């Protein structure tokens, strides 16, 4: 009997993770998948291009929900996802990461007594002022399968009393990166298009609400990037939220090479040849490590603490990097198949 999986995605990092898991599901007998795209990231360069480049089947359901506050967005998603799950009758709902789409998908499923599998379960920044932290906490305590990328994530869940259905599977972003590096070699011309020389530039991204919603924080981040631009060119693919916030707050990006958001293969190539990465993105901190590029995180904490302790990352206001060591707990690029096998084998009922 084939188990039906409904995957809920809505933001750039989720498309990348879902691509790896969808390929594994497609190669696993006894599983089928349909996807709900909430529309949280609606810009073509942050949404459509990922499906095209990574070969993800087009979502069966596209909700086109974006904009507005957290409650408004999450509520609309919850209202739209519920009738789809009632009609589809899936055996599992798979959610990714820590966005409003993650929260809405897990809430809708759990209220209908459909088991939830959370990819990237157990991550914690221990900063509840971050909306992402609230989304992680709630989703983990609603989930049946906790698919953890690191041993630290399993320990975080145990500290909260969550021990059932917890599995350290490794990091699906590593699976995705290994797949994409080969494609990017021939599928991206971003370096020549921007006249960039390998290891002579840095890549920066800024999008977190803690930076974009506070004029003081956004100004400080931009000034930090300007300082770094004195030692090497800083390329900044500008998130729509950040562009709007900067315009509203009167913050300019003089001294930085600002470009439009780029597709996944272009970003992979930019990362692979960069001298350094500056970001407030959780996923990009790890992607930098996968390319063995040093990272500076533009936040006061990180959920990916192993990148700090193993010397590949540092907090922008923290100490210098530790000595670099390999991070073995991310796995060997087979996390997606571990997830598919667990979905097939698990017979949990809520």
Confidence check: pLDDT of 9 > 80: yes
Indicate whether this model's pTM tops 0.85: yes
Are both 40 and 92 inside the same structural domain? yes
Are both 140 and 61 inside the same structural domain? yes
Are both 235 and 258 inside the same structural domain? yes
Given the residues 146, 207, 272, 291, the one annotated as active site: 207
**Portion of the chain with pLDDT greater than 90, in percent:** 85
Confidence check: pLDDT of 32 > 60: yes
Are both 68 and 197 inside the same structural domain? no
176 domain residue, yes or no: no
Confidence check: pLDDT of 50 > 80: no
179 domain residue, yes or no: no
Are both 245 and 311 inside the same structural domain? yes
Are both 152 and 141 inside the same structural domain? yes
317 domain residue, yes or no: yes
The mean pLDDT value of the chain amounts to 93
Are both 341 and 309 inside the same structural domain? no
Are both 73 and 158 inside the same structural domain? yes
Q: How confident is the model at residue 52 (pLDDT cuts 50, 70, 90)?
A: confident
Q: What is the pLDDT of residue 46?
A: 54
Are both 7 and 153 inside the same structural domain? yes
177 domain residue, yes or no: no
pLDDT per position as a tens digit, 136-177: 999 999 999 999 999 999 999 999 999 999 999 999 999 999
pLDDT per position as a tens digit, 263-299: 889 999 999 999 999 999 988 999 999 999 999 999 9
Are both 122 and 202 inside the same structural domain? no
Number of domains observed in the structure of the chain:
2
CA distance linking residue 284 with residue 289, whole number of Å: 9
Q: How confident is the model at residue 45 (pLDDT cuts 50, 70, 90)?
A: low
309 domain residue, yes or no: yes
Q: What is the pLDDT of residue 55?
A: 78
Range 322-350 average pLDDT: 90
144 domain residue, yes or no: yes
284 domain residue, yes or no: yes
Which candidate, 118, 109, 101, places its Cα nearest to that of 85?
109
pLDDT per position as a tens digit, 11-25: 888 988 999 999 999
Are both 192 and 325 inside the same structural domain? yes
Q: What is the pLDDT of residue 349?
A: 47
> Residue 284 sits in which domain range?
186-329
CATH code (residue 314): 3.40.50.2000
Annotated catalytic residue 118: no
180 domain residue, yes or no: no
Are both 336 and 310 inside the same structural domain? no
């Amino acid at each position: 009997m084939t188990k039906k999986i409904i995957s809920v995605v809505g933001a750039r990092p989720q498309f990348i993770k879902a691509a790896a898991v969808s390929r594994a599901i497609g190669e696993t007998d006894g599983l089928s998948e349909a996807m709900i795209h909430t529309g949280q990231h609606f810009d073509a360069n942050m949404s459509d291009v990922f499906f095209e480049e990574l070969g993800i089947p087009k979502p069966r359901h596209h909700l086109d929900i974006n904009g507005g506050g957290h409650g408004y967005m999450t509520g609309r998603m919850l209202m739209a996802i519920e009738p789809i799950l009632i009609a589809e009758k899936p055996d599992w709902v798979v959610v990714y990461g820590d966005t409003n789409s993650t929260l809405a998908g897990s809430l809708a499923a759990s209220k209908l007594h459909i088991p939830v599998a959370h990819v990237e379960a157990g991550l914690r920044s221990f900063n509840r002022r971050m909306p992402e932290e609230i989304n992680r906490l709630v989703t983990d305590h609603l989930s049946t399968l906790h698919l953890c990328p690191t041993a630290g994530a399993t320990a975080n869940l145990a500290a909260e009393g969550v021990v059932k259905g917890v599995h350290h599977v490794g990091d699906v972003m590593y699976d995705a990166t290994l797949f994409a590096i080969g494609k990017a070699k021939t599928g991206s011309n971003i370096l020549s298009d921007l006249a960039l020389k390998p290891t002579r530039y840095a890549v920066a991204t800024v999008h977190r609400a803690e930076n974009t919603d506070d004029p003081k924080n956004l100004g400080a981040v931009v000034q930090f990037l300007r300082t770094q631009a004195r030692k090497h060119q800083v390329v900044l693919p500008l998130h729509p939220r950040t562009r709007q916030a900067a315009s509203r707050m009167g913050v300019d990006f003089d001294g930085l090479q600002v470009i439009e958001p780029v597709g996944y293969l272009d970003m992979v190539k930019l990362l692979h040849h960069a001298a350094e990465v500056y970001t407030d993105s959780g996923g990009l901190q790890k992607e930098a490590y996968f390319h063995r590029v040093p990272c500076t995180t533009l936040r006061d904490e990180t959920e990916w603490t192993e990148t700090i302790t193993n010397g590949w990352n540092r907090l922008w206001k923290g100490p210098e990097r530790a000595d670099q060591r390999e991070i073995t707990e991310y796995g060997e690029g087979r996390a997606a198949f571990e997830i598919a096998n667990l979905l097939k084998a698990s017979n949990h009922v809520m």
